[in-house]
Chain A
Amino acid sequence: MSLPPSVVLEGAILGLDYGLLAVGLVLIYRTSRIVNFAQGQLGVVAAVFLVKLYYDFGFNYWIALVIAVALAAAVGALSELVLRRLFNRPRVIVMVATIGLSQVLFLFTVFPFIRPKKLYRAFPVPIDWTFHIGTFLFSPGEVLTLIVAPVVVIALAAFIRLSSWGLAMRATAENAESARLSGVWVRRTSTVAWTLAGALSAVTAVLASPSQTSALTQVLSPDLLLLALLAALIGGMVSLPVAFVAGIGVGVVLDLLQWNITNPSTGPATVELILFLLLLGALLVRAASLQKGARVGERSSWAMGTAAFRTTGDALRKRVGWSGVILTFTGVALLPFVVGVGHSFLMSQICIYGVIALSLTVLTGWSGQVSLGQFGFVAVGADIAAHIGSSLPIVLLLPLAGAATAVVSVLVGLTALRIRGLYLAVSTLGFALFMQTSVLATPCFTLPLIHRTICSGLPNPESTLISRPSLFGLNLSSEQAFAWFSLGVLVLSALMVRVWRDRGVARRLIAVRDNEIAAGSAGIPVVRTKLLAFALSGFMAGYAGVCLAFATERFSTNTFDPSFSILVVSMVVIGGLDSIPGALLGALYLEGLPAIFGSTPTVEFLTSGAGLLAFILYLPGGMAQLLHQFGDLVTAGVTNLRARRSGAPPSDTSGASDLPSADPASPRQGQRSAAGAGALSVADP
């Protein structure tokens, strides 16, 4: 078969857009060491505004373009000013902040002074050139992309290579502290990078929009992001030209694949699988260069973690904490009596999300591996439930599905043995997309090269009912019953994670994350410990998937949308990265609040995106920090009450550290009694 040049060229034009996005990702990564999820959205506001200027205000196209690009540059600079406050925080938090940023930016596009009056109008294009290859007509928008994209990238590359700003950017990327000491204004350099990225994003949006039907471009979708990330990774996250060319390559390959595979039912799944494999390949091949220099970055990324508070070992404080937990769960357990069927369903939903969030607490909070594909693992469990859920009692099904998912999770985690931290985000995101399109949305897909067909999906996902089982003779089919069941699963999961935290599992994961070499020398099996994190996290996600399948009772393509994975990451960050109650609070906040207080998607976006940013900026420890402070207050109050009742003078209310009953082991107490500390001595163990 011969390659039709029109297909190649069409792919290349799509690829130019991926390339531009990839260049933007690399630009930000080089200066801030984060994957900027807002890269697509930075310019969309400007692109939408351009439509408004052109149609509603009758501006000349070029003037409107200049205004739009300038607006996007300003948006980029402003975003940097917001994110700047996170300079010393873990990179994963900054990454999640960009997710929040992109959601907030999306809101701007629906503001009346930016949103055009008529949405469904062709995006303006300044030229009307077209040409044919064979029977294929290339539109003016595509011609524009073909001309403008290379020019923009060459100009950008020249700026970075030749100007002093570019040199400063490169220095900052290598070693921000050294650069700072040698007089590079690191923060301003970072502002410049974000300004450029904003302008670049506007160009990308302006070039990509003509091929879309609506002027309102959505948030950078996960699959588009994945393609751009793939290109950026091939460039090693540092090389602009390589990333750009790789973007074009990705576009061509994708278009050829789609042209080649004619079967409409298995086609998309196979394409997605090949893409996933390509991604893994790129990661593994580029692993060496990705690691270079990144080590230092990762070191600082976790050293300033969220461990701002610790339990003090004070008995009263513990009792207060436990009472709070028990009261809360009793209250929640009584809820299905009061609320309606819809809210009972919501309750099971929140409980299941809580379990998924806990699985990320283990993987991201302790082991430091960022997973953007947790819903991929959830989907594995759900798929198992859909296939064999009716033939197994649920007490067996849950651990079995968990174990199977743990195996899958370890397999995906194998990539993490060569690459660390943020890069895993990319391979897990790829996995989640693959699960969505290949395994669930299509009943069968063909493995490339060996041409074997695998049928793991449901023949008719939308109409297949997954009937709820019974638990020890109790029928779970009512929403109330299922809400209690989900709550039970959540409580057991929380207890299990607590055991892991307090009885030795968590410390091994954290040790390997913090200092792999020292942990290895101390006799902790590094590889096994890393994979253990994946197994545990996959196990939890797997049985959560079973619960989710029974809760929703049928799948659609959107049940396991990868954007849910990003939602779960947000939950964990909002709640507090390594805190168990935090994960649950995060689930409640992100799932519960929008469902209770608002029904329109706009309101949901507002509560999550803006709320997410506010939490990250102003509450470093997440909601868990608030909860902890509240617990301290209650403890102080109880102490005062007791003291008053026994006639002793009340202690002041400044906090738990002043409790007279505080254990001498309390660190805050200890610091004050520095005198009389035991002299250092070595005695026989």
Chain B
Amino acid sequence: MFASALRGLRSAASLQGLVLLSAGALVVWLVSVPLLFLLATAFRDTTDALPFEPGVAWTLGNFAQVFLNPVLYRQVVPDTLVYTAGAVVLTMTLGILFAWLVERSDVPLRDFLFIAIVSPVIVPTVVVAIAWVYLLGPSTGWVNLLLRSAFGLPGPGPLDVFSVYGTIIVQGLALVPLSFLFMSAAFRSMDPALEDASALCRARPLTTFLRVTLPVLLPTTLALLIVVSTLTLEGFEIPMVIGVPARMQILSTWIFFAINPPIGLPNYGQIAAIAVPFVILGAALLVLYNRATRVAERYAVVTGRAYRPRRAALGRWRYPAFAAVLVYLLLMLVLPAAVMLAAALVPVGEASRASATLQPFLNVLTSSTTLLAFRNTLLAGGLSATIVVFIACCVAWIVVRTRLPARYLLDFMTFAPLTIPAVITGTAIGLLYLVMPIGVYGTVWILVLAYATRMAVATRIMRASLIQVHRELEEASHVSGARWHTTFRRILLPLLAPAAILSWLLLFIVSFREFTLGMLLYRPDNVVLGVHIWRLYERGYIQEASALGFVMIVIVLVVGFLARRYLVPRLGEA
């Protein structure tokens, strides 16, 4: 495979070949090497040893120890299934409902609602999770205090976020923006003439929805189901903050505690053995996803074109529907921000306004750890986003423009990280650089390497963008006398810049919110904001944690607002 790739590249101009080859090598190094290393580790006897220390033998024992462990079947698997199924059902239902409301009904203020539903996505999930604890914690949660004083109830309760339901509801709500975006794009690009045609055949609206709309959207819905299931399964913040106190053992937290055991050294071979079925499952889901999206593409009716939709009249449900979306916004953005601010200013449980103080903001914002966390967050986010955008451009070009046989493998490798839970990616990368003595372990550089595995979405964006750039635009430049690098600089780069900037920003926001990889690879030197806030919260610095949480919400909202205001219009133009 690589020999033929090399031969293909050698025939191309040398600089072009060099650039593309280095991008391919980066993908292999970032994605494949850690995973293969992890898979190999699963077969090493690592009791009290690292996997490739001298004297360590090959074994199948890890699998026996992990998969014959009754805890797995009595607790981890049932808990994970209940949690995943519950959250997926909730997020899909709300996502499809909201998408239909905004794209296909006459609900008022649709543009505002669109932003309202999407904007919570930029708030770090760990902050939202902590905010929900402040709101619905059984003993001192604000809502519980309110209910108790209003109805004269005894504490704790009556509501308890630390429960199966609490975990499912918070996780389900956290993914609504994503499923909403997915489905609203599908609704928007579906030709309403299909529904009109059905109506002209005298089908009633409900019949049309069931027999035409749903089947046409089915492949997209399936693709969404796969993505949401993967993201729920790999979700770590909410299982950690809410699920663990609720005595739930979900796979992601189970793996985390296996890596960070209360006593002794972690047994990496056993952890790797847990990861094996995930990697296999991930590959299977990836194949399924590709098939679902390919079917969606074959249903040529869902095209990239935007149609003017016909909207259903909601009648007296117009305002209740509007209010339902507002409740969502309240729960996922307004209340978390408010409770964070309040908890920063006033110690939890003390309702007196007299003790309110700005001191926690000063404390947390001037601490050297916070400054280090800021620096690490920006550095790891910015650098990894730059690397990924470079990879995405090159891989997209190889996949779209060349006939190299290796291009499918490359495409698969860039997409694979999407289906592998972050807990496992983090484990693999941590383990690899723990063993490989190149000095990145425990530094911010290992975060760069870990964040840079998130190349799936950016590659897809760049690919879609490159497909829009007609091949003849490049060829016209060659015929005009320009070599590959001139063509790249003067034609391709300017045309791809909007998509590249968009990808970079998305990656940066994802890194800013990042918690899982930061936790798995945490050492005092590479603390990032998400991890810092968690450590403050965990050690009882509630006011400082809240102050930092509030600051993070403000930062992402301001950045999101500016990007929307100044960048999105310019993207639309190009």
Determine if chain A interacts with chain B: no
Interface residues of A (CB under 8 A from B): none
Interface residues of B (CB under 8 A from A): none
